[in-house]
A and B are shown apart, each in its own frame.
Chain A
Amino acid sequence: MMICTVGLAGMLYLIKKSLGKTVEEPGKSVPAESGHLSPKPAWGRYHVHYYGFALLFLAFDMEMAYMYPWAVVYKELGIMALLDMGVFLMILFLGLIYTWNQGGLKRQ
């Protein structure tokens, strides 16, 4: 499947190539900035203003790894499964509420 996709894309690129080379011109390779020559490379220490959410996300995403197998056997195990996962999720949920309470759920 992946090979097919990449192959297809490769074909597209080849067709494109057959249509001619890019004419090199001054300014053409500068990223477009609505009529300005963008002043410098943009790479740097970028300030993501959502790092609080990101930390929370890590905790919850880990938990999802347990959720899938749990979900498959849930009906089999019955009420015990619900209680087990309930306690686990409650602890995580308390974490979420704590973060909310501490003002973590807003733009930093």
Chain B
Amino acid sequence: MSQTVYWIVTILLFIAGVYLLAVMERWAIYGRFEFTYPVKSWLALFGQESVTPRKMDKVFYETAPLLFITAALLAAMVLPFGKGSPAIDLATGALFINAALAYIMVAVLMAGWAPNGVYALVGGWRFLGQLIAYSMPIVMAITATVMRAESMALPTIVDSQQGLWNIVYQPVGFLLFYLSSMAMAFLPPFDLPVAPGTLAGGVWAEFTSVRLLVFRIGRLTLIMTLSLATTVLFLGGWHGPWLPDFVWTFLKTLAVAASCFGVSRFAVRIRYDSLLAWSWKYATPAALFNILWVGILLLL
């Protein structure tokens, strides 16, 4: 297959994935599948008037949604869908995902700060705390996969899982990565910055119309990206029998995302400070243990 076709297929698959994720998100809230819902609600947001809060920080306010979606897409760029990967093949891919996704926190914090309202402000600062909780485990889990592949290039990481997927090779790492990526995408139970029940919308509350639309699609993109990263790093990427490689990646990604929404439907919101305490008391030591575990396995 030529490179251009691969490009188009991947982009279309990614967009289809985001759309299906929107359907799943709706299911997580109302327990029913509405396949036309995303189109309707996105169009509806277009029609909405855009209200901007008084005494706000204009630069932050305008930048936050764009930065949010850009960060998610940047990270998606380096993640390979298939063998003849159309993604930018960076030698430091694993590090790059991390660097790009760090801006998610910046964007959310900016969105919390900009409107100059209490609900949003609390939500923004909460998310900074959340970052301190999720970022260590996520980084260390990625490191352990890099150790096995002896390379930070993502296609190499996928190749290293040929015989045995990382989910089996380093299950602790997978679990940490999975939960941390949910925290990064602030899906319930980690939906602290936007908690409808305690902050009535939180950081997103003052964003209306297209800005909110960019945020919403940005979040779905983020979940898609993170699920794709989970697939690439832990679920053997495109490896699988019978079907073409990119189909495998797509299916695995959707399955990861679906499981995220499944967890989020039945979970109870966690306090960010207990999240912090758990992260540092259990998750960080567990991540270190995971590195040690992989280290020993590699030397054997």
Contact = CB atoms under 8 A, between A and B. Distances in A.
Interface string B249-277: 00000000000000000000000110011
Contacts of A19: 46-47
A68 B214 contact: no
Interface in B273-300: 273, 276-277, 280-281, 284-285, 288, 291-292, 295-296, 298-299
Interface stretch (B19-27, B161-169, B175-183, B203-211): B203-211
Contacts of A64: 136, 139-140, 143
A16 B210 contact: yes
Given A9-B66, A48-B125, A93-B285, A41 B51 contact: no
A33 B118 CA distance: 8
Nearest to B73: A5
B146 interface: yes
A28 B152 contact: no
A103 to B, nearest CB: 11
Main secondary structure of the interface of B (DSSP, over half): helix
Contacts of A56: 280
A28 B51 contact: yes
A100 to B, nearest CB: 7
A72 B152 contact: yes
Contacts of A6: 66, 70
B41 to A, nearest CB: 15
Contact of A1 (B73, B139, B152): B73
A44 B7 CA distance: 48
A29 B136 CA distance: 39
A24 B49 CA distance: 11
B128 interface: yes
Interface in B52-85: 52-55, 65-66, 69-70, 73-74, 77
A107 B119 contact: no
A5 B295 CA distance: 40
A67 B299 contact: no
Nearest to A10: B66
A12 interface: yes
A86 B120 CA distance: 42
A22 B51 contact: yes
Nearest to A2: B70
Interface in B98-131: 113, 115-121, 125, 128-129
Contacts of B276: 50, 53, 105
Contacts of A106: 273, 277
A1 B147 contact: no
B143 A67 contact: yes
Contacts of A12: 46, 210, 213-214
Given A61-B136, A67-B143, 12 more contacts: A2-B70, A5-B69, A16-B50, A16-B210, A32-B200, A42-B116, A42-B120, A43-B121, A46-B125, A48-B125, A50-B129, A72-B150
6 contacts: A5-B73, A19-B47, A32-B200, A48-B128, A96-B280, A106-B277
Interface of B: 46-47, 49-55, 65-66, 69-70, 73-74, 77, 88, 92, 94-95, 113, 115-121, 125, 128-129, 132-133, 135-136, 139-140, 143-144, 146-147, 150-152, 200-201, 205-206, 209-210, 213-214, 272-273, 276-277, 280-281, 284-285, 288, 291-292, 295-296, 298-299
